[in-house]
Amino acid sequence: MLPASVAVYGANGHTGKFVLAELHRRTIPAIAVTRDASRLPSGVPGRVASVEDAAALDRAFAGCGVVINCAGPFLDTSISVVEAALRARCSYLDVTAEQASAQATFANYDQPARDTGVTVMPAAGFYGGLADLLASVLVRDGVADTITTAVALDHWWPTEGTRRTGDRNQVPRMVIEDGRTASMPLPAQTLNWTFAAPHGAQPVVELPFSEVITISRHLSVRSLHSYLTANAREDVRSADTPPPFASDEQGRSAQQFLLEVVVTDARGTRRASASGQDIYAVSAPIVVEAAMRLLAPDFKNYGALALGQAFDARHFLNALAPEPLTLSIDH
């Protein structure tokens, strides 16, 4: 029996709606929280709170066990929502792809979370979380020479939130070199990557997201770089690319993704991949799986943690396969 509700901040947004639906599917009590009363979704208890109103956030999260923040740009929302979650003694999750937001959350809220007896977990969705889980399965003894991630998207139909975040997030992108965080060299590196079918061989461009922050949070790696198919970068950059539109009864777009992680160390090279449909929609089962585990009475791993640091990565991934993820992992 789960003891408390999950508050979804930004429940009216594109990803927030998927998160609410996933909570409902798993019969986990949910509370929708929005910044505008006129945008509260129907059929679920709702509360209104802006990030500027600490008292309203306190009321919104009262009695909850976990807060899931789906409202970007997270550079603008995460501080207020994390701090309100801590005041309410709630664990916190978000789905940020923004490196600076994830990095600041890890840096600033580890000890406060420990002191409060809760867990703070940024970047627990497709970006940040999924690559961290795959890398955590592959890396042995917590140490690797190189980790490379590559994402293939047949299309990227960006949401309004993605576009706002792109405009807001002008922070230099970071990689890991010589075991330290460093600014990504410009211009971004382009190379050819051979993905598994149906994506195949195609050009990719270096474009690190929050996975650099989540992976390096707990795995020691000399070099960590991330790539995205060039067509997807052009989609998200073009003002003419439409937003995602539903193609099935779950409301998912037709977008197909493949995330590959390659680890090298003294033992050789190992690969893992996860594929599925719609990067926004798939963030919901990932972050809700994390929330469910955080609500378990025997979970006592407190602090600011990445997914692969807080949970058994292989067990977590297996809970998401064969739907919504198809997995392939070298043994």
Dihedral of CA atoms 203, 209, 211, 213 in degrees, nearest 10, equals 140
Domain 5-125+283-316 classification at class level: alpha beta
Confidence (pLDDT) at 140: 85
Structure tokens, 246:
């539903």
Confidence (pLDDT) at 170: 84
Percent of the chain's residues with pLDDT above 70: 99
Confidence (pLDDT) at 166: 85
Q: Is the pTM of this model over 0.85?
A: yes
Q: How far apart are CA 219 and CA 224, in angstroms?
A: 11
Structure tokens, 223:
């070099």
C-alpha distances out from residue 175 to 78, 133, 151, 169, Å: 22, 18, 16, 16
As annotated, the residues of the chain forming the CATH 3.30.360.10 domain(s) are: 126-279+322-329
Ramachandran angles phi, psi of 67, nearest 5°: -110, 125
As annotated, the residues of the chain forming the CATH 3.40.50.720 domain(s) are: 5-125+283-316
Q: Which residues of the chain have pLDDT under 50?
A: 1-2
**CB-CB contact of 236 with 158 (8 Å):** yes
Chain segment 16-27, per-residue pLDDT in tens:
999 999 999 999
Confidence (pLDDT) at 331: 72
CATH no. for 126-279+322-329: 3.30.360.10
